[in-house]
Amino acid sequence: MKQSTKRMLKRTGDDSRRDILAAAYDVFAERGYAGAAMRDVASRAGISVGGIYIYFQTKEELYLALLRSEMEDFSSHIERVVDMEPAQALKALIDSYLDYAVRKTKLVSLHLKEHDLEIRKPLKELFLGSQYKIIRGILQDGMDNGVFKKMEIDRAAPVLFSCVRGLVLSYLSEGQAVGSQSETLYEILLHGIMEKTV
C-alpha cells in the first residue's frame, strides 16, 4: 500500500473526537452516567482506552462535552425559528422540540432520568436560559406586532416550555404520536379553549 493511501486511512483528531462522542452518546444513553465506563466508550469508538484520554481526561469531562455538543446541535436545530413571523415561529418551535425528541429519543430519555445529576446543573441552567430567551423573543415579537395579546412574558415562557416538555414526556413514556398533539397544543395556545362570546 502506498504511503499516501496509508495516511488517508488514518483518523484525524477531529474524526477521533467525533467517534468518541458518538460512542459516548450510545454508552451513556444505554447505561446512564453511573453505569458507563471509559473503556466501554473506547471499545465502541474503536479506539484504545489510552487514546480516549488524549481527548477527555475524565468520564465527567466526556459527559459534559457530549451535553455541550448536543446543546449546540439542538440550538442549530431551532435557530431557524427566530426570524419567522411570531405565530409561525411558535408552531415551528413546538415542532422542533418534538422532532428533536423523536430523533434523539435515547439522549432525551437519559436527560430526564438524570435530571438531578449534579454535574449537569450548570449546563441545564444555561440550556433553559437560552430556551426561555428564544420563547420570550417570539412572544415579545408577537405582542409588539399585535399578533399575541399582552401577557407577562417571564411567566408565560416557562409555562409554554413546560407544555412542550409534557408532550415530550408523553411521547417517551407512552409512545404517543407527537404530530397531532403538537397541532392541538398550537391551537390551544393560539385560540384558547373558551367559546368566544359575541
Do residues 68 and 40 share a domain? Answer: no
Asked if 10 and 76 sit in the same domain, the reply is no
**pTM for this predicted structure:** 0.79
Q: What pLDDT is attached to residue 177?
A: 64
Average pLDDT (8-19) is 73
Same domain? For 28 and 109 the reply is no
The pLDDT value recorded for residue 196 is 63
pLDDT in tens, 112-159: 778 788 998 998 899 889 889 999 999 999 999 999 999 999 999 999
Domain that residue 93 falls in: 60-198
CATH number of the domain at 39, please. Answer: 1.10.10.60
Spell 92-121 as b/e; 16+ CB within 10 A means b.
bbbbbbbbbbeebeebbebbeebeeeeebe
Out of 32, 57, 82, a domain closes at 57
Q: Say whether both 106 and 154 belong to one domain.
A: yes
CATH number of the domain where residue 149 is located: 1.10.357.10
31 shares a domain with 111? no
| Terminal Cα-to-Cα distance of the chain (whole angstroms) | 83
157-170 tens-digit pLDDT: 999 999 888 888 88
Question: What does the pLDDT read at residue 101?
Answer: 83
Exposed e or buried b per residue across 46-66, where buried means at least 16 C-beta atoms within 10 angstroms of its C-beta: ebeeeebeebbeebeebbbbb
Q: Name the nearest CA neighbour of 129 among 158, 172, 90, 165.
A: 158
**Cβ 11 vs Cβ 19: under 8 Å:** yes
pLDDT in tens, 56-93: 999 999 999 999 998 888 888 787 888 899 999 999 99
The mean pLDDT of 188-198, rounded to a whole number, is 73
Q: Specify the DSSP class assigned to residue 176.
A: -
Residues 6+ apart with CB under 8 A from 168: 97, 98, 101, 108, 178
